[in-house]
Every structure is written in C-alpha cells, then in structure tokens.
Amino acid sequence: MLNTMIRYYNNKAYTHNYIFGFQYKGKVYDIKTNSDILPAILKLDKASRGAGMSLRFRPTKAIKEMLINLGAEELCSSEDLKAETEAIKYNVGEWFEKRETEKVGQTWEKDSVPFWEDGDLTVNGIAYQIKFENATFINEKTMARLG
C-alpha cells in the first residue's frame, strides 16, 4: 500500500523536488531532496475524517539522523520555532513554508495550490514541495477523487 500510494503521488505531482523540515535534539533542520527518498522517509497512517489511509512524512529518530547525514542543515532552534509560531496565526507547516520562502529572498503568501498544479516554492526555475514533519502528502479519499 505504501509503495502504491507513493507511485500514485509521484504520477500526479507537479514536481519531484522537496524541502523537508524536522526537529531533532532542540534544533530545526531542512534538507532539499527529490522523490527518490520518499520510500525511505514516508509512512502509512490513518487519515482523518474517514478519508482512508494517508501518506505522511512522520520521521523517526533514525530517519532524522539519516537526513542529517545526507546534508540536512540547521535552520533555527526549536525554541525559535515555538516563539515564531506563537507570534503568527499559522501552523508549523505554514511557518516552515514561510521561513523557506523568505530564506531565498521571496515573499511568502498563504495559498492552497494543489500538489498536482504547482510546487510551494520555485527557485531558479525549480519547483519544490515543502513539507514539515507530520505533513500529509495524500490520502485515499483524494486519490479516489483525482482518479
């Protein structure tokens, strides 16, 4: 089921480039990568509101250590993340998108563009989907709707 959902997602996705974020030992990290890594870092989970199963980025300690070894860089402290998310009206995933967008000198605006239409951020002509830990990629209900 995991591999089926990953294949489906990859077939529909506008981009196969990602920026992942996660917390580890009091620090927030980010890493740019591509879809080749998805089978190693994504998990199946129960979706909310009766939407079946979901494909989720919920990294374990071992996955976080692997991502750090692959070149994840420290973005800020977990304390900074907490303070900044408390100061704005967005959730952690939106905060991460905002932070990554501003990191490359662009202005972030909250949107709801679907993953099959565009990435969350485009830098030098390369579109990226931005995902912070616990982010959902897709669920069975969305797969059925998209066909």
Domain boundaries, the chain: 2-142
**What per-residue confidence (pLDDT) applies to 86?**
86
**What is the distance between the alpha carbons of residues 83 and 52, in angstroms, rounded to a whole number?**
34
Per-residue pLDDT reduced to its tens digit, 12-44: 999 999 999 999 999 999 999 999 999 999 999
Query: Is the confidence at residue 89, as pLDDT, over 90?
Result: no
**What per-residue confidence (pLDDT) applies to 90?**
84
The continuous run of DSSP H or E covering 74 comes out as strand 73-77
Per-residue pLDDT reduced to its tens digit, 32-87: 999 999 999 999 999 988 889 999 999 999 999 999 999 999 999 999 999 989 88
| Predicted TM-score (pTM) of this structure | 0.94
Contacts of 47 (CB under 8 A, 6+ apart): 53, 54, 136, 139, 140, 141
| Cα distances (angstroms) measured from residue 120 to each of 22, 61, 94, 115, 136 | 17, 26, 10, 8, 14
**What is the distance between the alpha carbons of residues 53 and 66, in angstroms, rounded to a whole number?**
25
